[in-house]
Amino acid sequence: MLQRKTQTAAFWRDQFEIGEEDLDYFHDLILDATTPLTTQQLALRIIQEYQRRETSRMESELSKGKIYQPSERYEVGQTLVFPAMDFAVGEIVEKRAGLNPEHGNFDVVSVQFAHEPKPREFASSLQTPHRLNQPNGQGISEESALLSANEIYDLYQEEIVESILYAMEEGERAEEFVQVDDYWLLTDQLAELHVGHLNIAEAMIEMQGRPLLPNDILAELDLSEEVSQPMQVISLNHALGNDERFDKIGSGADQAWFLRRLEPEEAHQVPPLLRPHSPRYNRALLSVELLQVEWELDDEWGESGVGSDVPSVVPSTSFTLIYPHRRYGTLPLSSRTRSFFPAGSQGRSLVTIIDGRWGNRYQAWVVHEGRYVSGLRKWMDEHTIPVGAQITLERTNKTNEVVIDYRPRRMKREWSRFAAASPKAGTITFEMNKIQISCEYDDYLVVSAEDERSIDGLAAEIEKRNIDLDSIVEMVVPELTKLSPQGTAHAKTVYSAVNMLYRCPPGPVFYSLISNRAFQDTGSGYFALA
């Protein structure tokens, strides 16, 4: 079977590049389509087009003469086509007997090519095997053996998509094409949307106080009926996406629009203390005891967790609240909690959180990349939820609605570690004070701060000065051990205190404890000064 370029890795990985002819093809394709096309659809169509062009060219070239095969007999004056030479066409101008005992009797034909000054010689009537001989007259007809467009896309998707996106987003004709989400259309296909339309959309969202679907907004905009409904939706999404007043919530069919000024800041910008650090460490040195503690903490950025997400059939789950989430009124998206919220790796999704005590409803935003749910500061303040509290989540019968609660107990004044920071001096101190607690909690994790801004200031200084984790651990451990009659601090407490200043999962914190000769492991998760 003749080798096609489009069947080779070398072509798609090294030679494929979207050119003017391809952009013309995309232009006509999008113009004729009844609905916008995705990048994958364009990729599959361009692969099919390249295969069609190749077949057409092969058929055209092969019609100019006979396919050269070393086993065939040829005469002077015949025209031959050489598929292995990119379908070069030449005329036989001379013929002589071949001289090579290994191949027996054969002929040598001299072939003159149009753009070469001298003829080139090829074997003819060759009786010994040769790779250019096509058994049973095989040519371009063996379609069943060829890779399909889908198979080629699966093999070389990255290279093909990269070439398409570069040409349509950054090429000289980029202004012709518009991409909204993953859909492509022509710039002049967009419905006309002016600032008045966007002001109406803003007013509608503000009056409703909730995200609105594109179709809900379009119902009040009275756009031209000449533009199809799918095109109107994409045009609206494109216009709203380019106006900083609006924020996209969800994706695909669930995509809706809300106003940035109505969202908590944490919904569209990850707060400093929720941005994780991941120092390198030797995990193999962590004891079974410390690995168990890490599992109990189930930090959303940790390497342990429960191994896999809690299944969606499990009706409820619980977790302990650490300082960074209490500081910003957020919930972690960990292996225990993730399945209770919409799935995703990018963007935001809107959910309703229902107070299991009082029945109040809160809008909350799932920030997928940040691995947290924002919008629970008011709920935490109303119930005086402390750091270390045991929080529960329960599923409901409605999609994207979750009940939040805590495990109640009789209110008592309990001892808590209070932190005081001095950003200028770069220090933090701890002392014991009593706070009101009316829920179940993990005593090891309880830390408080009367002046959260000073803690924020010290955390900012640590980030600015690029102070490493080991130095932070060395700063907090002596302060924590002073609070205990035994002169010890639990690994959980060190983790909790470190995370007031430096967001870090348990593993690196625990390694910093065991690898520092200034600290001594006294067993059961406790450490003392050596």
Domain boundary among 376, 409, 442: 409
What span, in angstroms and rounded, lies between the C-alpha atoms of 80 and 113? 10
**Owning domain of residue 467:** 413-529
Residues 44 and 155 in one domain: yes
Whole-Å CA distances, 187 to 184, 197, 234: 9, 18, 11
Ranges 65-74, 135-144, 173-182, 403-412, most confident: 403-412
Position 256 in a domain: yes
Phi/psi of residue 294, each to 5°?
Answer: -60, -40
Q: Are residues 327 and 470 in the same domain?
A: no
Are 392 and 422 in contact by the 8 Å Cβ rule? The answer is: no
Same domain, 122 and 106: yes
The CATH number for 364's domain is 2.40.330.10
Q: How many structural domains compose the chain?
A: 5
Inside any domain, residue 37? yes
Domain shared by 40 and 118, yes or no: no
Residues 37 and 151 in one domain: yes
Indicate which CATH number applies to the domain containing 79. 2.30.30
Instruction: Give the per-residue pLDDT at 230.
Output: 82
Residues 257, 327 share a domain? no
Over the stretch 311-350, which tens digit does the pLDDT of each residue have?
888 999 999 999 999 999 999 999 999 999 998 878 888 8
**What does the mean pLDDT of the chain come to?**
90
Q: CA–CA separation, 15 vs 24, rounded Å? A: 19
Residue 278, domain member (yes or no) = no
Q: Which of 133, 157, 175 is the last residue of a domain?
A: 133
Q: Do 199 and 304 fall within a single domain?
A: no
- Residue-wise pLDDT for 12-63, tens only, equals 999 999 999 999 999 999 989 877 899 999 999 999 999 999 888 887 777 7
pLDDT of the residue at 382: 95
Question: What is the band of 3 on the pLDDT scale with cuts at 50, 70, 90?
Answer: low
pLDDT value at position 119? 93
Q: Are residues 340 and 257 both part of a single domain?
A: no
> At residue 132, does pLDDT exceed 70?
no
Q: Between β-strands 107-113 and 88-97, what pairing exists: parallel, antiparallel or unpaired?
A: antiparallel
CA separation for the pair 250, 209 (Å, rounded): 17
pLDDT tens by residue, 217-265: 999 998 888 888 888 988 999 999 999 999 988 766 678 999 999 888 8
Pair 437, 506 in one domain = yes
Ramachandran class of 250: left when φ > 0, alpha when ψ lies in -120 to 50, beta otherwise: left
Same domain, 19 and 91: no
Instruction: Evaluate whether residue 267 is within a structural domain.
Output: no
Tell me the pLDDT band of 141, cut-offs 50, 70 and 90: very low
User: Quick one: pLDDT at residue 142?
Assistant: 54
Summarize pLDDT for 485-506 with one digit per residue, the tens: 999 999 999 999 999 999 999 9
Residue 275 lies in a domain: no
Q: What is the pLDDT of residues 359-408, one digit of tens each?
A: 999 999 999 999 999 999 999 999 999 999 999 999 999 988 999 999 99
47 within 8 A of 152, measured Cβ to Cβ: yes
**pLDDT tops 90 at residue 272:** yes
Backbone angles phi, psi at 378, to 5 degrees: -60, -45
Q: How far is the C-alpha of 395 from the C-alpha of 85, rounded, in Å? A: 67
Of 402, 394, 391, nearest in space to 445 by CA: 391
Per this entry, what is the length of the chain? 530
Whether residue 486 is contained in a domain is answered as yes
Half-sphere exposure of 508 (CA within 13 A, CB side): 21
Q: What is the pLDDT of residues 441-493, one digit of tens each?
A: 999 999 999 899 999 999 999 999 999 999 999 999 999 999 999 999 999 99
Residue 270 domain-assigned (yes or no): no
Domain with residue 197: its CATH number is: 1.10.10
83 within a domain of the structure (yes/no)? yes
- Residue 235 shares a structural domain with residue 367: no
Do 424 and 499 share a structural domain? Answer: yes
Q: How far apart are the first and last CA of the chain?
A: 77
Taking 90 as the threshold, does the pLDDT of residue 149 lie above it?
A: yes
Provide the pLDDT for residue 2. 59
pLDDT at 99: 82
Please give the DSSP secondary-structure letter assigned to residue 453: H
Does the pTM surpass 0.85? The reply is no
The predicted structure's pLDDT at residue 138: 46
306 confidence band (pLDDT: 50, 70, 90): very low
